Amino acid sequence: MATIDASFTPARPARRIDWFGRAATFCYLSVAAGQLLFTAFILLFYYPSSLSGHFERWNSKPLITGFVAGDTVGNLFFAAHVLMAAVISFGGLVQLIPVIRGRWPAVHRWNGRLYLFCALALSLGGLWLVWARGTWMNLTGAFGISLDALLILACAALAWRNARARRFAEHRRWAIRLFAVASAVWFMRVGYMAWGIATGGAGIGDAMDGPFDLFLAFANSLLPLAVAELYLRAGTRGTAAAKKSVAALLTVSGLVILGGSAGAWMVMWSPYL
């Protein structure tokens, strides 16, 4: 009678590490860390002065056009703009968490509606601040901000339309694109600090008119949008090589974002709190 050797255990196939998924998670966490710092700054700097009506305190921090005496409409527009910036920064992070989307769909839906409303208001308000109030230092920067506003409007409309049609896979894709372009103001600050740390500020002009300024005026929305697009395409139909390349890109992006966010907190935000 044959016996079975109890000490023998069939070898299990080695589990493959999902570097693509891990890189995407790392990049998201890097963005989340930076945007939470940005949100904290807005809550601690702008909210007390705006809600108490002491708009003049905005000017304790360098701004292109902050508080202007006698400009009631412009000051109120600016106040609403910065107050909603905290909502959209935090709300976008919540919207991209799969656990919330899966376990608490009502939270996802209502937060998504609030996010879309704020995105609409911020983009239209941004256009008004630029072209009616003159909140710009050079024409290239004004066109860059305007392009971002138009991208936000387009992505928000397509995200909403696909959600209404219950095309949830397509809705998710447009929501990720919307998050990328709606974060452009934050990406600009992080980009400036990351570039400054790496190069010492080469190409940055006194009036935001240097080569890097002109590049970042458009790259603050188009570059994150391009990375988001590569991530989406690699995730749906990318080859193994494509996923590895995008995983490397996401990892490098996350590291740059962490460095730029730390610099922004130390130079742009915390000194004014």
For residue 68, give both structure tokens: 């202007």
Q: Where are the domains of the chain?
A: 20-272
Per-residue pLDDT band at 14 (split at 50, 70, 90)? low
The winner for highest mean pLDDT among 54-68, 99-113, 125-139, 254-268 is: 254-268
Q: Which amino acid is at 131?
A: W
Per-residue pLDDT band at 72 (split at 50, 70, 90)? very high
Q: Which residue has the higher pLDDT, 77 or 44?
A: 44
DSSP H/E element including 99: helix 98-103
Q: How many CA atoms within 13 Å lie on the side-chain side of 42?
A: 21
Burial (CB count within 10 angstroms: exposed 0-12, middle 13-18, buried 19+), residue 143: middle
Say what the pLDDT of residue 131 is: 95
